[in-house]
Amino acid sequence: MEMGEDKLWRVLEFYSGIGGMRYSLMKAGVNAEVVEAFDINDTANDVYEQNFGHRPHQKCGFYPPLANLTHDKTSDTHEKMISMLREISFNTQEFILSPLQFGVPYSRPRYFCLAKRKPLSFRKAQVNSYLGAPGPVLWSDENVVTSQGVELNGYWDKLIESCRPIEDFLDLKNCVSDAEESKEGKRPFNNPLKQYYVPSALIERWGSAMDIVFPESRRCCCFTKSYFRYVKGTGSLLATVPGMVKDRISSLQDLSLRYFTPREVANLHSFPEDFKFPPHVSLRQRYALLGNSLSVGVVAQLLCYLFADETL
pLDDT tens digits along 132-161: 444 444 544 444 455 555 555 577 788 888
How much is the pLDDT for 72? Answer: 55
CA distance 13 to 229: 30
How much is the pLDDT for 74? Answer: 62
Active-site residue 304, yes or no? no
Catalytic residue among 60, 163, 175, 220: 60
How much is the pLDDT for 134? Answer: 42
List Cα–Cα distances, 130 to 76, 98, 111, 143, in angstroms.
18, 11, 9, 14
How much is the pLDDT for 36? Answer: 95
How much is the pLDDT for 135? Answer: 42
How much is the pLDDT for 129? Answer: 46
How much is the pLDDT for 137? Answer: 46
Q: What is the pLDDT along the chain (312 residues), one digit of tens a residue?
A: 344 456 889 999 999 999 999 999 999 999 999 999 999 999 999 999 999 999 999 876 555 555 755 555 567 888 899 899 999 999 888 888 889 989 999 999 888 888 999 998 887 776 654 444 444 445 444 444 555 555 555 777 888 888 999 999 998 655 544 555 545 555 555 667 889 999 999 999 999 999 999 999 999 999 999 999 999 899 999 998 876 676 777 788 889 999 999 999 999 999 999 999 999 999 999 999 999 999 999 999 999 888 876 543
How much is the pLDDT for 3? Answer: 47
pTM summary value: 0.85
